[in-house]
Amino acid sequence: MKWIKAAIDVETRGMSLTSGLAFFIGVPVIVAFLVSWNNTLVSNEVNFLTSLGFWIGLDFIIWVSYIVSTGASYWLLRRWQPSLLWVLLGGQAISLIVFTWPSRVYLIWGLDVGRMAPIHYSDVTVGLTGDYLLQLFYGTLPAAAIWFSTNLFYKHIMKVPRYHYGEWQPQLNTEKGPLGVSMTPAFLKRLPDQVKGDIVALKAEDHYVRVYTDKGDSLIHYRFKDALADISSLPGVQTHRSYWVEQSAITSLESDGQSSQLTLRTGLKVPVSRTYLNEVKRLVAKLPL
């Protein structure tokens, strides 16, 4: 089962729970909603909910086919380690040849059940003929455009390493602040002077954030998500929905099969939830502990 874990790692590397849900579920659902609104490619007699249900099913078939096909392209091309664009193009080719069949079956089912599927698809004989592949290519262009643009957006805007070969580290801003770390977070100004120092960890407590430094800790009125945005350029990792730790503060990762926790150089114990465990393990594996 190691290859399954490796494939999942490639797909989810660098993603938080929110960005992962947005990528794997949010995008196809949003697209389905938009195309269902005007009964795109379905009968005008079909109500919105039926059209939406039909499109959600079709979009997820297409989205999953792109995930599987591009993953296959990633592994087949690993010897040459090409750029993301070439991996996506390879996935598109595999998807056109292999994964047209489930889409085809679903479209025929839609046509038979409620005459929802576009008629012109049902009139084409399935096979690797030039006419069929050409029509299929043009029919999948919108989905391909969404798949390509989403992956490129995640890579270049959100800095998520989509289908990245080799090791990956978050891109850090090298500009130094007064504490000798990248981009001193604004909330440090709210800390009492006696605890100001290098950040070790953050903890969300309702509408407050407890800031742990190498000199102590203090509770400040600050939103946790704003604090995470302030430290986005610092080398660290979110371990739990309520915790973030600075990577150089980590001394060990312990797990008993039921729960996991990090021990920091200050002696602080920080829980690691299953959502963030794989990302934490990848980080810890690279640290000189």
H/E element, 220 = strand 216-221
Residue recorded with tokens 């800095």: 159
pLDDT tens for residues 146-201?
Answer: 999 999 998 888 888 888 876 554 443 434 443 333 446 778 888 898 998 889 99
Q: What is the structure's pLDDT at 111?
A: 56
Q: Between vectors from CA 202 to CA 200 and to CA 203, what angle results, nearest 5°?
A: 140
Residues 58 and 106 sit within 8 Å (Cβ to Cβ): yes
Q: What is the structure's pLDDT at 135?
A: 53
Strands of the sheet containing 216-221, edge to edge, are 216-221, 208-213, 199-205, 243-246, 236-240
Residues of the chain falling short of pLDDT 70: 1-2, 38-46, 99-140, 166-184, 289
Complete domains list, the chain, with CATH: 2-156 (no CATH), 186-286 (2.40.50.1020)
Q: What is the structure's pLDDT at 41?
A: 58
CA distances (Å), origin 221, targets 187, 231, 233: 9, 16, 22
